[in-house]
Structure 1
Amino acid sequence: MQTTKDIPQWLASHHSDGVNLSIKELLYYRTKASLLNLSLGRPAQAKLAGGYLAKTKGRGMEFDEARHYQPGDDIRAIDWRVTARTGKTHTKIYREEKERPVFVLADLSSSMHFGTQLLFKSVQVAHLTALIAWAAHKRGDRIGGLIYNQTQHKEFKPFSRQKAVLSLLNGIVNLHHPQSPPPKHGEEQVTFTDACARLRRLAHPGSLVFILSDFANLTESAQQHISQLSRHCEVTAYPISDPFEHALPQSKYQQMLNLTDGQDEQQILIGEQRIATQYQSEHEQRFNAINTRLKKCRVNVVPISCAQSLERQLAKRSSETAV
């Protein structure tokens, strides 16, 4: 974990306050793309999956543009909608899809707006999303995603340009509302299960998919969606958590600690060994259950703490892997 003394300096250097979100702190990770290795972890499932996007145009999978029909063009490629709208015959031009699209599901729901030491879980999700997006851009992969909070979601189709990265990052800043109210009466709530279902429709076979969440709302339906997704894509789950969710703070004296999620309030006693042991045991079982269910979905599980910088955690993980 970051030491208490280091935290103000770290936040300042990253243009962050740990609670709110700005585009400036996400641009920081452009120079840190090497922290993530997006190399293929297992054979791609899609027949046309590979490392690059062909620059030649032909009858591939990826639509490129519509242009005026020219003698010799395949009549099966005529774009009838554009033709009807303009009154002139247009044909569809395709690029052969050979690179692996990268998708990020970023959970910004109410349970993510919590943190006790360095960052809110939601802010860590944004930082990790930025790192993934810049790493994909550096490789030349297309980047897309799905961002949601409790009242709305936004989908981003994958593109390889820097504009796609900036669009995704601006989207996560716009949907990040630490003080956002719960859904109003009659207003539809966006759930983790909804997000997973939408992600299944977005991610094409052979894609590299990252799911960033605390998985507090990992329902049976959501688990089924992730399991189906992993059949055709390489999926990595990043469970984001705070140290307080694993163990109560240590205290020499018994005292009541006030807690709030912005809506409800409750108290918990710290400094009492029996309660501390029970709390840690219950939460350890909960996190172990989440990891077990995710692994049953055949996904890579990489726990991330919001009390420590991504640089430190990923560098440590990289050194351990090297050993």
Structure 2
Amino acid sequence: MNDSTRWLKALQSDGIHLASQELLRYRQLYKLINLAPTAKKQAGVSGAYLSKYKGRGMEFDEARHYQPGDDIRAIDWRVTARTGKTHTKIYREERERPVFVLCDLSESMQFGTQLLLKSIQAAHLTALISWAAAQRGDKVGALIFGGTHHHECKPMTRSKAVLAICHQLIQMQSAALTASSHQESAFEDACARARRLARPGSLVYIISDFNQLSTTATQHIAQLSRHCEVKALMVTDPLESTLPQTNGQREVVVTDGTSRQTWQLGNRQLTRQYQDNQRVHFDHISAWLAQTGVSLQHISAGLPLDQQLVNAG
């Protein structure tokens, strides 16, 4: 019995269907991921959080007399007009930051060759992030979508919110496995919905293989990143990077459920060509996301998250 088989057996999972025990497991593993705000820009007030976007996580506290060095954008013009003396607004940090997860369980995510389907790994990531947010006391919400359906989980606090998200992940994955049709614009539509659902200042995770990333979807993500901190987790399968090694050459028939192709394994030239084509594909996605200012992290569906994440953001 290899390590992958033992890992799946311990979870009572087959890597294809989703069960509650494998999502509840991440309640104890929340330290694998760090949800602290990225310290790119620091707000000019005291507090426990650093703010990447001015005004994010800020609550009005009081107005006081303007002092040299105060940000003129914080001047309280109403109080200034009423008193005849310049006043500035003082803010305090909120103790929570909403976390929002966009989880892709569409048709291209229903693929896996080693440990898990990409969709199952995406569900594991969503559960991990949700439990980590709950542990911090942050509100957590999610938009889970497949080929033709989606479900919105409004941001809430505590474990009840995470359990609701886990329940929907199980339901949506079950539906995705039996779905007979898909919608080409599913990813675009999900990104558009995320812009409406994610509050300004939220930490937003987009979990997908990004195979449906388009110009329109990129525009939605760019708009989202203007008001939120957005992180992309790209889930891939090992077969999407390189073909399996074989002793000698052999032909195999592969299908995506619609079309069929014949691949010749063991041919060095074809293997190199395949790797080059896949590298171009991944570089293209990385370049588009880089234009939006979104950080990108690659996650393999062929390894447990425990072996890939070490307090990663």
Equivalence for 1:21: 18
Of 257, 268, 272 in structure 2, the residue corresponding to residue 262 of structure 1 is 257
**TM superposition shift of 1:155:** 0.6
Q: Secondary structure at the match of 2:309?
A: helix
* Root-mean-square deviation over aligned CA pairs: 2.1
Equivalent residues in 2 for 1:70-109, closer than 5 Å: 99-109=96-106
Q: Secondary structure at the match of 1:250?
A: coil
Q: Is the 8 A contact 2:29 2:128 kept in 1?
A: yes
CA distance in 2, matches of 1:247, 1:130: 29
Q: State which drifts further: 141-150 or 38-47.
A: 38-47
Equivalent residues in 2 for 1:188-199, closer than 5 Å: 191-199=186-194
Quick check: 1:303 aligned with 2:298?
yes
Equivalent residues in 2 for 1:272-311, closer than 5 Å: 272-311=267-306
Change (3 A) 1:48 1:98: farther
Equivalence for 2:30: 33
Of 11, 23, 31 in structure 1, the residue corresponding to residue 8 of structure 2 is 11
**TM superposition shift of 1:165:** 0.5
Amino acid at match of 2:172: L
Equivalent residues in 2 for 1:77-226, closer than 5 Å: 99-177=96-174, 179-183=177-181, 191-226=186-221
Q: Secondary structure at the match of 1:302?
A: strand
Amino acid at match of 2:53: Q
CA distance in 2, matches of 1:140, 1:265: 49
**TM superposition shift of 1:263:** 3.5
CA distance in 1, matches of 2:255, 2:173: 19
Equivalence for 2:42: none
Q: Deviations over 1:263-289 (max 9, x none)?
A: 433221111111101000000111011
Q: Deviations over 1:146-183 (max 9, x none)?
A: 00000100011100121110001101110003532333
Q: Is the 8 A contact 2:100 2:205 kept in 1?
A: yes
CA distance in 1, matches of 2:56, 2:255: 50
- Count of aligned residue pairs for this structure pair: 269
CA distance in 1, matches of 2:113, 2:179: 21
CA distance in 1, matches of 2:11, 2:295: 28
Q: Secondary structure at the match of 2:103?
A: strand
Change (3 A) 1:134 1:165: same
Gap runs ≥5 in structure 2: 40-50, 60-92
Segments of 4+ moved more than 3 angstroms: none
CA distance in 1, matches of 2:153, 2:54: 21
Please report the TM-score for the alignment, with normalisation by the length of structure 2. Answer: 0.81
CA distance in 1, matches of 2:192, 2:245: 41
**TM superposition shift of 1:259:** 1.4
**TM superposition shift of 1:247:** 0.7
Q: Secondary structure at the match of 2:133?
A: helix
Amino acid at match of 1:137: A
